[in-house]
Structure formats: C-alpha cells, structure tokens
Amino acid sequence: MSAAEDTRIEGWPAELSDGALGQLAALLQASVAAGASIGWVDTPSEATALAFWRNCSEAAARGERSGWWALQQGRVVGSVQVVWQQPENGAHRVDLVKLMVHPEARRAGIASRLMDAAEAEVARRGRRLIVLDTWRASPAEGLYWQRGYQRSGFIPDYALTTAGGAGATRVMFKRLGTGGLQVRPGTPDAPEAQALLDALSAELLQNYGSDGRSGLANWSPQGSTFALARTGNGEPIGCGAFRPLALPATDGEGATPRCAEIKRMYARERGQGIGQAVLAWLTHEAWTRGYRELRLATRRANTRARRFYAAQGFTECAPWGRYVGRAESVCMGLALDD
C-alpha cells in the first residue's frame, strides 16, 4: 500500500490531546521551514506553534471553526481549517485557512483530499461561498483554480517574505449550489465531458434538427475555458464553455471590447440551478481573462434557452458572422463591467 493510500483524512477530535498538539506544531514548523506562507516569515518556535494550535483547538471547541488532518500510520502529515464565525451579513460564507502538508508527504493528493473533506462539510451546513487567499502565481493558486476557485484580484505587498520585502496575495472564492453543486474547469475531450456533450447533441438534434457539435470545433485552450458542473459527490451534471470571438469594429476608431462567445451550455437536470452556476462561473472567468463582452447565439424556437439567458441579463443584439441573415437564430449579448 502506498503512502497516499495509507493516508486517512479525519476531522479533529472534540479536544486535542497534548500529543496531537505536538504533532500539529511539528507540521506547522516543517511547513513554514519549507516555504509555506501561512502566517510566519521564520519558522516559529515550538512554544509559538503550540500556542497557535491551542488557540485553534479552543476556537473549534466554541464552534467558531473546524479542522481536519491527514494521518499516515498515526502521524499528522497535513491539516486544513474552516472558519465558521462570520459577521451577520456573512452568515452564508466561510474562510478556508491554514492548508498545509508536510514536505515529506507532498505531491500525493493530500491537499485535495483535505479540501474535499472541508468543502463537503461546508456544503452540508448550507454555506454557499468559500473564500481564501494564497501567494499570487504560486503552485497553490493553480491547485485552487483547478478545484473551481476563481480569482477576484490580488493585494500587492500583503505579506512579508523570507527573502525580505513583501509579496502579493491572491484572493479567491468558490460558490456552492444546492447539495454542494460546484463548477470546476475541465476539457471538452475528457470522457465525462463527452458524455454531457453527447447528451446535448442528441437533445438538439431531436428538437431542432441540428446537433450543434461544431460549437467546439478546433478547440484550443488559448483564450478559452471549458467548465464542468458537479454534484456534491463529484458526478458531472452540466457543462459550458467560452471561446474568443472576433467582431468587426463598431466605432470610428476601430476598437471593440474583447469579446467571448458562450458555447455548449447544458444541464442534465432542469430547475436545479446548474445552468446558472455554470454561466456565473464562465462569466467571472471571462472577466478575469480581460473579456468585456459575452455573446451567444441560440435557436429562435428554443424559447426555454432564450428565457434563461434573458434572466441572466443577456439582451438581443445584432447577428455576426455566420448568423447574419439566419432568421432561425437569435443573437444575445452581455456587457461585463470594468
């Protein structure tokens, strides 16, 4: 059995023993010594690390936060915490903090498993928004993005570094829907994505005589994003994408906003908020990529889709490219704020 297979993820016990506190303190020291930015510039002393974990344990006992740890043969090799205590107007959200994995146990998926456990509890308690921050452009930022966390900006000179000076922190968030519904980036050629796209094509062909498969033809990740919606237990249940759209100039100076086209939106179940979750994720992702307008085309006969997009703020706009002169199509657009 590999070390990863032998790793157990568990919630902290109601009261942390001195032995558990000592192991957590050693984890903290090893993580900071290896470069983790989790609140210290230099490796904290044992006394400082123990005091930190005692405070966390006391907060957990008061119900203000929860913690999970990763155990390998009884040894603590990772931990993460969720802070439940929020102001009244933030009762729907939580902070995810102090994710750390021992240097000797990294690159085995432990961080993701810790986050799986934390996110499942967040969903179980009905919280809908998870917020975190991490070093800008760090490997951790990439991990969070792959898990569906989106970038909302960065704060320069936020935290002191071991090399002197200060570095920027990236603020990120993840929205959760009913039952833990969440959206993550994916690729349209993955088997789970293909199953959804095939279902969409079959539905379009049956209802409108065309399967719409050309929407992702010659797909390139350059400037494009494909998204998968998943249930709380990880089952793919919806998808959508955007890709760059070149539009002719609309003013005398020849400048147009950067525009992306929404493609291949699909929800396996209706009325569950899946489409809204996918479109909201894509809209924010397009904005962070520098796009300032979204466009889409749908069939005029597809009144359900037209109502859906109108409810999300899209309005009918002039056709472009291959949609010009096609009475069966309706083009819609949405401006993205600066």
Give mean pLDDT, residues 302-328: 96
* pLDDT given for residue 109 in this prediction: 96
* pLDDT given for residue 337 in this prediction: 86
293-299 sheet: strands from edge to edge: 182-186, 225-230, 236-244, 259-267, 293-299, 329-335, 315-316
* pLDDT given for residue 1 in this prediction: 39
Q: pLDDT at residue 215 above 60?
A: yes
Query: Which three-class secondary structure state does DSSP give residue 174?
Result: strand
pLDDT tens, position by position, 156-183: 999 998 888 999 999 999 999 999 999 9
The helix (H) or strand (E) run that includes residue 36 is none
Give mean pLDDT, residues 83-112: 97
pLDDT tens, position by position, 32-45: 999 899 999 999 99
* pLDDT given for residue 293 in this prediction: 96
What does pTM read for this prediction? 0.93
152, with CB counted inside 10 A (0-12, 13-18, 19+), is: middle
Domains present along the chain, CATH in parentheses:
7-127 (3.40.630.30), 180-335 (3.40.630.30)
pLDDT tens, position by position, 111-145: 999 999 999 999 999 999 999 999 999 999 999 99
Quote the CA–CA distance of 118 and 113 in Å, as a whole number. 9
Q: pLDDT at residue 4 above 70?
A: no
Q: pLDDT at residue 254 above 80?
A: no
pLDDT tens, position by position, 189-213: 999 999 999 999 999 999 999 999 9
